[in-house]
Structure 1
Amino acid sequence: MDRDGSSRRALRCLGWTVLAVGVAATAVLVPPLIVPSPPVAQPPSSTAPAPPSVVTSTVSVIPTAVPPVVTPSAAAPPAHSPEADPPPPATSSQPLPFRSTTVHAADPANLRSGARVIECATCRGGSRVGYIGGPNTLAVRVAGVATAGTRTLTIVYETEEPRTLMVAVNDGAAQSRRLTGAASLLIPATTSVEVFVPAGDSWIRFFNDTGSAPDINEIVLG
């Protein structure tokens, strides 16, 4: 009995020893298998390191609508707003004013048919035109009338006795005046008649078909 027990104890001890040896062997062999291998040193590269890549950003530009530029034509005048243009000058419908005209009877531009220039110190201008009547006439020229119209004709004359004077403008109807004057050929007197005078140049005729007419000194057309 004791021998069998000892044998069993010896076998158990041997088993435990083998187990311990096996565990120890496993601990020695297993760690190298699970420990990672150290990194292998790489030889230095002979090429220079690549420069860092530069990242360029591209900005997208969205075109905006640009209105077309209109250049004015060379022949077209620049446009103006109605407010910038001055108003056109107002045109007057009134006729030009008539200027009074004075003509001496002895003026060289006048026409004397049979009538004569007479010296007269007391007459206007120092002379008068006489011997009017019958076939003899005097035509006084009035030039440059701007506007036609009815005018007042003032006649400066001299006579010693009552005489008849006929007055006409161009070929118009004649007007008759019976004039008494100052009863002297040296003292001027005046009379007035209304006559129509056309624009431009006209002739005012003095005559008397039936007898002698007063002497004419000067006329004023106003």
Structure 2
Amino acid sequence: MVAVSRRLLGWSALGLAVAATIAVVPPLITPAPPPSPVPPSSAVPSPVVPSAERTNAAVPPARAARPTTFRPVTVHAADPANIRVGARVIECPTCVDGSRVGYIGGPNTLAVRITGVPQAGERTVTVVYETEQPRTLKLAVDGGPVSELTLAGARSWLIPVRVSVRLRLPKGACWIRFFNDTGSAPDINTITVS
């Protein structure tokens, strides 16, 4: 019985020693603290930055606009989709597709439709024409400002000549009108927009 009492006393002493150790020495593994609630971004006040610092702050580079490609468009003046008021299709063995549009001038006009322009801006309009003597050609886009060209040509109705002019075209589709309200214009074979 003495042995049982000593044993119980030993176990009690051991239990007290362990309890004292736990109370004095912090545990080696601690549970993780609960996550603190994060206020919504609208509740977090943004810092006030003095204007001098704002101008020197790093600004991310702007994304460069991807250039919009535009394939050159060529329209034949004699195309039936064009509008000819008084102007007529003339056979021409040296012209593209064997014809051109003549009798432009006075009340007679030619209008060609250009489509697929990806963005508004200046474009190069190249006109292939024929004339025997110097003539004036006027161009206007959708009733806009008139560009006037005095053209000498090759002094032959059978030798095509080209001239280029910069015109402002709107995005999408437009009409380019060819005319000369004060006299005769050269005959026109093709129009290329690039």
TM > 0.5 between the two? Answer: yes
Q: Aligned residue for 1:53? A: none
AA aligned to 1:165 is: L
Quote the sequence identity (%).
64
Cα separation, 2, equivalents of 1:124 and 1:195: 23
**Greater relative CO (CA pairs within 8 A, separation 6+):** 2
Q: How does 1:36-47 map to 2 (within 5 A)?
A: none
Point out where structure 1 has 5 or more consecutive residues left out of the alignment: 1-90
Contact 1:155 1:220 in 2 (8 A): yes
In the alignment, what sits opposite 1:96?
68
Superposition misfits of 4+ residues, deviation over 4 angstroms = none
1:92 Cα shift?
A: 6.1
For 1:105-144, list aligned pairs within 5 A. 105-144=77-116
Contact map agreement 1:95 1:147 (CA 8 A) in 2: no
1:163–1:178 contact (8 Å) kept in structure 2:
yes
Unaligned runs of 5+ in 2: 1-62
Does residue 207 (structure 1) correspond to residue 152 (structure 2)? The answer is no
Relative to its length, the structure with more strand (as a share) is 2
C-alpha root-mean-square deviation of aligned residues, in Å?
Answer: 1.4
Mapped partners of 1:126, 1:214: distance in 2: 17
Match in the other structure for 1:49? none
Partner of 1:154: 126
Deviations 1:161-180 (A, max 9, x none): 00000011111100111000
- 1:134 shift after superposition: 0.3
Structure 2 residue aligned with 1:60: none
TM-score (norm 2): 0.66
Deviation readout 1:155-205 (Å, 9 max, x if unpaired): 100000000000111111001110000101111001110001111110011
What is the number of equivalent residue pairs in this alignment? 133
